[in-house]
């Protein structure tokens, strides 16, 4: 079996030291090994596959015990990581100058599991609103999580990843748990609010804050909560929401003869995109302050516009839509976490163990994000390039170690046995 990791990445070690996690040395070693192996492993990232990446291999059962029974709290690591990410983003923005604007983006996603998966506690059947149509709803056997990213200036960091369980799933799990170990149900609104409450004391005073989410989160409760913090909301709306007592799609139909405003924005991949926009000010039902709703189309003849509202009436259409494009960072995070970070590959069963696994995945991804911001160049254009560089650095270290051992011992067979983890060479 070809191994890949001889020593832990010095850059990852430095990043972990900055977090001040307060873990025991053995716990720090496990979280470091798992994060390093998650970035290096190219197969399904089961604990056994992570263990096989190391020349000096830890026991896979030790990794499982670290997630299942080791005395550390996922929320404590999550809080330390959140504080570090916010501090880093703000300090970088102050160092480089620019507008004092913070974009908080909230979204959720499904991590799909095999249809036969039954014994992993967070996994259940979820409605997939991204693939469903009015005539054909789609459901997936999956786990659901809420992701929050923060954009300040040109830098983006993932601030939070939290599991969401359906109320039915929580009831099913709690039937088998003693009273003191029962899981409280949290709606997606409650999770989003808890994320914002945890962020509030970390944000600097005097900065303008925009909280952005899609139409599934655009409840009156969340919008009013955000405004109570003296922040602004930019979010999508469904066509049946009422503005000034009238459905939004009816407003759009009434404005069909008005001129469009052409708005050009820059997407996350640095491309220019033009939208055709109309607007209407007013009040949403049960929201006690004025908002501005934008009716946005990619082309004037497009039949179904997107409806986007902003509570900042001093914000131009270009500023509002440009800010809303930064919400795409959540989709970028989802893509990398599922394809490169191993978010969907866990095999541990309990809710608590899965929650800890997600924290380790988040930590590994946070290292990639910060390193990308520091090393961005003509050669490093995406976070995927950082993951490739991380793997290349391990390959150089691994090969250097094998050559040095061969030069020192002159015993090629022992080198192959160690670096390929073979008990004996095949005959």
pLDDT surpassing 80 at residue 257: yes
Within-domain flag for 259: no
Q: Are 330 and 393 within one domain?
A: no
Q: How many domains does the chain have?
A: 2
Q: Are 16 and 89 within one domain?
A: no
pLDDT surpassing 70 at residue 423: no
Within-domain flag for 407: yes
Least Cα distance to 288 among 213, 217, 224 occurs for 224
Within-domain flag for 396: yes
Within-domain flag for 373: no
| pLDDT tens by residue, 9-21 | 999 999 999 998 9
Lowest mean pLDDT of 130-134, 325-329, 346-350, name the range: 130-134
**Paired sense of beta strands 232-237 and 208-213, if any:** parallel
221 to 158, 190, 193, 227, 286: CA distances (angstroms): 24, 10, 10, 10, 9
What is the distance between the alpha carbons of residues 309 and 299, in angstroms, rounded to a whole number? Answer: 19
pLDDT surpassing 80 at residue 133: no
| pLDDT tens by residue, 18-60 | 998 989 999 999 999 999 999 999 989 999 999 999 998 777 7
* Average pLDDT over every residue of 279-296: 94
Q: Are 62 and 37 within one domain?
A: yes
Q: So what's the pLDDT on residue 97?
A: 86
Count Cβ atoms below 10 Å from residue 51 Cβ, excluding itself.
Answer: 20
Q: Are 92 and 41 within one domain?
A: no
Q: Are 92 and 184 within one domain?
A: yes
| pLDDT tens by residue, 213-247 | 999 999 999 999 999 999 999 999 999 999 999 99
pLDDT surpassing 90 at residue 424: no
pLDDT surpassing 60 at residue 282: yes
Within-domain flag for 185: yes
| Residue given tokens 């993951």 in the structure block | 387
Q: So what's the pLDDT on residue 248?
A: 93
**Domain termination site, one of 339, 354, 389:** 339
Least Cα distance to 398 among 415, 412, 384 occurs for 415
Q: Are 115 and 222 within one domain?
A: yes
Q: Are 98 and 33 within one domain?
A: no
First to last CA, the chain: 16
- Segments forming the whole domain that contains residue 320: 74-235+309-339
pLDDT band at 427 (very low <50, low <70, confident <90, very high): low
* Average pLDDT over every residue of 104-113: 95
pLDDT surpassing 80 at residue 370: yes
């Amino acid at each position: 079996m070809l191994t890949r990791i001889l020593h832990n990445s010095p850059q990852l070690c430095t990043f972990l030291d900055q977090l001040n996690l307060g873990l025991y040395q053995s716990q720090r070693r496990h979280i470091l090994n798992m994060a390093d192996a998650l970035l290096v492993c190219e197969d399904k990232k089961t604990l056994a596959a992570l263990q096989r990446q190391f020349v000096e291999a830890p026991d896979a059962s030790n990794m499982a015990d670290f997630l299942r029974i080791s005395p550390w709290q996922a929320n404590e690591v999550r809080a330390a990581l959140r504080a570090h990410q916010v501090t880093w983003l703000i300090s970088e923005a102050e160092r480089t100058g620019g507008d004092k604007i913070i974009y908080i983006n909230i979204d959720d996603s499904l991590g799909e599991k095999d249809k036969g998966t039954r014994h992993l506690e967070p996994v259940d059947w979820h409605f997939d609103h991204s693939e469903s149509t009015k005539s054909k709803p789609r459901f997936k056997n999956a786990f659901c999580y809420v992701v929050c990213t923060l954009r300040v200036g040109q830098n983006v960091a993932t601030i939070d990843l939290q599991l969401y369980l359906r109320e039915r799933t929580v009831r099913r799990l709690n039937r088998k748990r003693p009273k003191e170990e029962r899981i409280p149900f949290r709606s997606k609104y409650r999770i989003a609010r808890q994320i914002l409450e945890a962020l509030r004391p970390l944000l600097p005073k005097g900065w303008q804050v925009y909280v952005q989410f899609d139409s599934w989160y655009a409840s009156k409760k969340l919008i009013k909560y955000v405004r109570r913090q003296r922040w602004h909301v930019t979010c999508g709306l469904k066509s049946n929401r009422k503005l000034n007592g009238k459905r939004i799609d009816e407003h759009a139909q009434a404005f069909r003869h008005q001129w469009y405003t052409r708005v050009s924005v820059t997407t996350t991949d640095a491309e220019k995109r033009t939208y055709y926009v109309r607007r209407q000010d007013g009040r949403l039902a049960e929201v006690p302050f004025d908002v501005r709703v934008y009716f946005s189309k990619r082309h004037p003849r497009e039949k179904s516009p997107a409806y986007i509202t902003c509570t900042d009436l001093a914000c131009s259409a270009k500023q509002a839509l440009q800010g809303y494009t930064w919400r795409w960072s959540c989709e970028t995070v989802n893509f990398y976490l599922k394809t490169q970070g191993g978010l969907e590959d866990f095999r541990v069963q309990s809710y608590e163990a899965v929650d800890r696994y997600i924290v380790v995945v988040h930590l590994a991804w946070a290292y990639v994000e910060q390193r990308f911001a520091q090393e961005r160049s003509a050669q490093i254009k995406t976070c995927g390039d950082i993951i490739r560089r991380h793997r290349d650095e391990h390959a150089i270290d691994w090969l250097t170690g094998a050559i040095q051992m061969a030069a020192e011992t002159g015993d090629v067979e022992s080198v192959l046995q160690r670096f390929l983890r073979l008990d004996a060479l095949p005959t």
